[in-house]
Amino acid sequence: MSNLDVRPKPVQTGGRDEVSARPVHELLPPRRVPLGESTVVRRLLPSLGRRMVGAWCFVDHYGPDDITDEPGMQVPPHPHIGLQTVSWLHGGEVLHRDSLGSLQTIRPKQLGLMTAGRAIAHSEESPRAHSPILHGAQLWVALPDGHRHTDPKWEFYADLPVVTAPGFTAKVLLGELDGAASPGTTFTPIMGADITLDDAADVRVPVDPDFEYAALTMSGRLEIDNERLEPGSMLYLGCGRRELRVRGDEPGSFVLLGGEPFEEKLVMWWNFVARAGEEIAQAREDWMTGDRFGTVEGYHGDRLAAPAMPPTRLKPRGRTR
């Protein structure tokens, strides 16, 4: 998925200086951002004050939206470098195309994982014949320096490992939870799991005390570590826990994101993750001149033009501001 801001602001992030080594509660305020023709997302990461959770560097939540008489998601071809994208649905379908020639319809609780590496382009759209409700999350993972120029790759997994315990069921998107490991390729110690609670559940989810975590609520009104959360909100939790208590008076679900704090400092702008402003400028030029990123075949419409570069020099900094 793309950052479609016409005036994107540079985000300097990474480094361990502002990682909380102890449990905390930090509610991340969403920012409403239009995405394509008819979709509005709630951007939760990067946010004011918090830029990353482990290697997770971008989180959008959208829906549930009634798109019965709408085109739904329509994101034209656009470029990426230096990251992985994770497409995760609770409702509807998304048709993925990329410059590798991949063509895949993603449905709820299926993993679409794209490693951009040195360069890739892709589009995302609701199929012409689509379900009435669109609901999901789009996530980015920053690639560490040793892998950020890797070959681009597309992975799709219709079936993912499941963890079951009294009161909840979890699907493992990336990494590992309670011994169940996702088949998705990772490049840093990281985890992501979609956790569904039964009615009136009161559960404890095992977590790694060396990871920092955040919880993105997808449905239901949940109480996570004694914080009451509405759907579409995200709570940063810091490090230092061995278990996470979750309660719900009704069935609900949330995505738990975690990882080892990301040491490297990054610069993010538009759809690029790099280490220096010069890399961002070169990637933008390559996209505009048709070099490096390839062509997305089959999308009916123009590709996205890159916004103008900001007037100030982009510099990598820490993970908060």
Please report whether residue 317 resides in a domain: no
Please report whether residue 298 resides in a domain: no
Going by the DSSP 8-state scheme, the letter that residue 304 receives in this structure is: P
Residue 6's nearest CA partner among 284, 304, 314, 222 is: 304
Average pLDDT for the chain: 92
Residue 135, annotated ligand binder?
no
Please report whether residue 307 resides in a domain: no
Confidence at residue 312, expressed as pLDDT on a 0 to 100 scale: 79
> CATH no. for residue 169?
2.60.120.10
Which pLDDT tens digit goes with each residue over 120-162? 999 999 999 999 999 999 999 999 999 999 999 999 999 999 9
The DSSP string of 34-100 is: EETTTEEEEEEESBTTB--BTTEEEEEEEEEEE-TTS---EEEEEEEBSEEEEEEEEES-EEEEETT
Confidence at residue 48, expressed as pLDDT on a 0 to 100 scale: 80
Please report whether residue 273 resides in a domain: no
Please report whether residue 99 resides in a domain: yes
Residue 287 CB neighbour total at 10 angstroms: 25
Confidence at residue 125, expressed as pLDDT on a 0 to 100 scale: 96
Residue 80, annotated ligand binder?
yes
Note the pTM of the prediction, 2 decimals. 0.92
Residue 58's nearest CA partner among 77, 35, 85 is: 85
Residue 149, annotated ligand binder?
no
Please report whether residue 123 resides in a domain: yes
Residue 78's nearest CA partner among 41, 110, 125, 12 is: 125
Number of domains in the chain: 1
Which pLDDT tens digit goes with each residue over 157-179? 999 999 999 999 999 999 999 99
Please report whether residue 210 resides in a domain: yes
Which pLDDT tens digit goes with each residue over 82-98? 999 999 999 999 999 99
Average pLDDT over residues 43-68: 94
Residue pair 275/268 in contact by the 8 Å Cβ criterion = no
Enumerate residues 6+ apart whose C-beta is below 8 A from 153: 100, 114, 115, 117, 185
| 297 pLDDT higher than 80 | yes
Residue 240 CB neighbour total at 10 angstroms: 16
Enumerate residues 6+ apart whose C-beta is below 8 A from 143: 55, 82, 83, 84, 115, 116, 117, 150, 187, 273
What's the CA angle centered on 28, arms 177 and 204, to 5 degrees?
Answer: 30
Please report whether residue 223 resides in a domain: yes
**Domain residues for 179?**
26-259
Which pLDDT tens digit goes with each residue over 209-263? 999 999 999 999 999 999 999 999 999 999 999 999 999 989 999 999 999 999 9
Confidence at residue 163, expressed as pLDDT on a 0 to 100 scale: 97
Report cis status (omega within 30 of 0) of the bond before 64: yes
Confidence at residue 162, expressed as pLDDT on a 0 to 100 scale: 98
